[in-house]
Structure 1
């Protein structure tokens, strides 16, 4: 099969198990996350397995700061998924490849699950956990590097350590650097993060801004899972988009590529219109730099990418706005929103041209990740 015919899933996941934490540095082995089962939880009977991290139960399912994910994958909920434990956790590479074959996917780019949340506020420990994850992913995906690609986690709140890990991960085979839409409460264009962006550009690795609960204030504001999924999980991606374009990152780093993942695309026209509207205001000229061009002018430069959802009604309009070369398809396997048929659903849409679909299915992801 030629590279032009490859079907590339630009964003799927691994559900972490204790096997990953065996790669922790010796100094942190006694602090490694431990799975625990808690039965008969009101409203969450099947979500009955959690991580214990530094005495905290994760994920937190109730009250302010609520989040939702299904690692470790031993719960009743995980067992009901159409994927085996071995596939969800990547404990058996061949099991995942079989699921990919069933979905019609040739190559899958993998992201974590637990790091969509802030696992710890101990930055040194966070860095150690991410190093363990990257080490494990390199070894596991290395069993089938032709089909399994991975993006590296780096502790963005600790810029020097993030840079060290970016370099190590590049040497281990990572195809991108995965971050969330903020570095804690700091937006991505803040000056102290400049060395991170400079290093990403120097290494030639795309920065992949994934949905996740990165902003503590937003996270704490949502006291239900509904709010957590709609708002605190997703809004940081929009904040990251603002930083990349309106914060001048594309001006300062002209070879940088940035992708925005798992938030869909229908928010892009709204936000870019708002940014264009206020770009012309004299008020923003004082006290802060502004981008060299209108925000919408950056969309077609070929450096800003998005993953789409198969059922987005406005997808044709987004393609017209952004350009057909910067939208990527994904399956989100094996998460709760995983859609094995997402590529088929896009293929059956009559409102997208065949050439557009072909680019979404492979060409755009190949170019973004440098596959």
Structure 2
């Protein structure tokens, strides 16, 4: 076994049909099912989808493109170095072996399909998320010392949202996964305040994860490359705006938030642009809604960001965010997962040794309160 002093702050599970076994009775007939196709000439390895409310997910062609390696019946999933049992957590020991091979002691796991907007029905969406959360509690409960998980939270139904936040804490979740927007609403919309209040009440961190949460943005992209770089990633930047300039951190001083899987190099750009416009907007009288400049919130110790080992601007990010607030992401078993990532970070000459330890382990323990 390689070194095991690493906490992977953001990896994944690939959903399987059993994920939906805990759906409420009224939604059983609408449970997601697997559809397959043969003879595809474009991306033939992506030959299976979830069929949900008459629509396929992921959608790999045309307006509204999204990307995923689930369901596991697709050829793409079967070609990965990770076994299907490891990807879908049907073989917990296989996942632990993969973690050992990467030198990971603990993983915090997130959904793969539910950062897609898979239904237009908020009540059904909430039911899907409840089923997923129940399933994940059972899966990770087999090895709670090494497998942690973040609950998926239905942000388009506030009653269901607040109830699920409380249930997530009872189920053993260590974080609350949301997208960068709540559908077509930015996260500083006052209707969403009950969620942030509930997160503070149960003392769970809000994990803003990349994903196709913004319908209008999703519809602008027509191929996987654009979908990953734009409609998948940009909602995280929109969330950063909302939480700082939108006043959410002012209204909820006990809130802690992580921005996951967008890399970390966007932080200098966003902070620079937002600080640039802040006095202009203030002097004209157009706002902003926050009490401070965005950069000032980074010094309060409530904001965290995941990084990837090869990012050239990591030293600048550490200077802005603080060395106690950058986490390592592994992204297992997604296509971006690299078995060299941890070693690449260890070998960097521009990051101090004690800071590397914080990125690889200590900061995630603090963010998720794992100790």
Contact 1:333 1:340 in 2 (8 A): no
Report the alpha carbon displacement of residue 283 of structure 1 after superposing the two structures with TM. 5.2
Contact 1:278 1:284 in 2 (8 A): no
Q: Which secondary structure does the structure 1 equivalent of 2:298 belong to?
A: helix
Q: Which residue of 1 aligns with 2:177?
A: 178
Contact 2:282 2:288 in 1 (8 A): no
Contact 2:5 2:103 in 1 (8 A): no
Matches within 5 A, 1:266-277: 266-277=265-276
Q: Which residue of 2 aligns with 1:255?
A: 254
1:81 correspondence with 2:80: yes
Cα separation, partners in 2 of 1:31 and 1:282, compared to 1, 3 Å: closer
Q: Which secondary structure does the structure 2 equivalent of 1:110 belong to?
A: strand
1:202 correspondence with 2:205: no
Cα separation, partners in 2 of 1:284 and 1:112, compared to 1, 3 Å: farther
Question: What is the CA–CA distance in structure 1 between the aligned matches of 2:224 and 2:29, rounded to whole Å?
Answer: 31
Contact 1:330 1:342 in 2 (8 A): no
1:65 correspondence with 2:95: no
Q: Which secondary structure does the structure 1 equivalent of 2:11 belong to?
A: strand
Flag as ranges the 4+ runs of structure 1 deviating above 6 A: none
Unaligned runs of 5+ in 1: none
1:218 correspondence with 2:217: yes
Q: Which moved more, 1:148-157 or 1:27-36?
A: 27-36
Contact 1:284 1:290 in 2 (8 A): no
Give the TM-score of the pair, scaled to structure 2: 0.97
Question: What is the CA–CA distance in structure 2 between the aligned matches of 1:288 and 1:30, rounded to whole Å?
Answer: 48
1:238 correspondence with 2:258: no
Question: What is the CA–CA distance in structure 2 between the aligned matches of 1:278 and 1:287, rounded to whole Å?
Answer: 11
Report the alpha carbon displacement of residue 250 of structure 1 after superposing the two structures with TM. 1.1
Over residues 289-335 of structure 1, what are the superposed CA-to-partner deviations in whole Å (9 max), with x where a residue is unaligned? 43212211111211000000111111111111111000000110000
Q: Which residue of 2 aligns with 1:301?
A: 300
Report the alpha carbon displacement of residue 345 of structure 1 after superposing the two structures with TM. 1.1
Report the alpha carbon displacement of residue 288 of structure 1 after superposing the two structures with TM. 4.0
Cα separation, partners in 2 of 1:144 and 1:49, compared to 1, 3 Å: same
Q: Which residue of 1 aligns with 2:151?
A: 152
Give the TM-score of the pair, scaled to structure 1: 0.97
Over residues 253-290 of structure 1, what are the superposed CA-to-partner deviations in whole Å (9 max), with x where a residue is unaligned? 11100000000011100110111011111556635443
Q: Which residue of 1 aligns with 2:9?
A: 10
Unaligned runs of 5+ in 2: none
Q: Which residue of 1 aligns with 2:163?
A: 164
Over residues 149-181 of structure 1, what are the superposed CA-to-partner deviations in whole Å (9 max), with x where a residue is unaligned? 000011101111100011011001000100010
CA RMSD of aligned residues (A): 1.2
Question: What is the CA–CA distance in structure 2 between the aligned matches of 1:176 and 1:222, rounded to whole Å?
Answer: 30
Question: What is the CA–CA distance in structure 2 between the aligned matches of 1:351 and 1:219, rounded to whole Å?
Answer: 37
Matches within 5 A, 1:320-339: 320-339=319-338
Over residues 111-170 of structure 1, what are the superposed CA-to-partner deviations in whole Å (9 max), with x where a residue is unaligned? 000011001111111111000000000011011100000000111011111000110110
Contact 2:281 2:287 in 1 (8 A): no
Q: Which residue of 1 aligns with 2:90?
A: 91
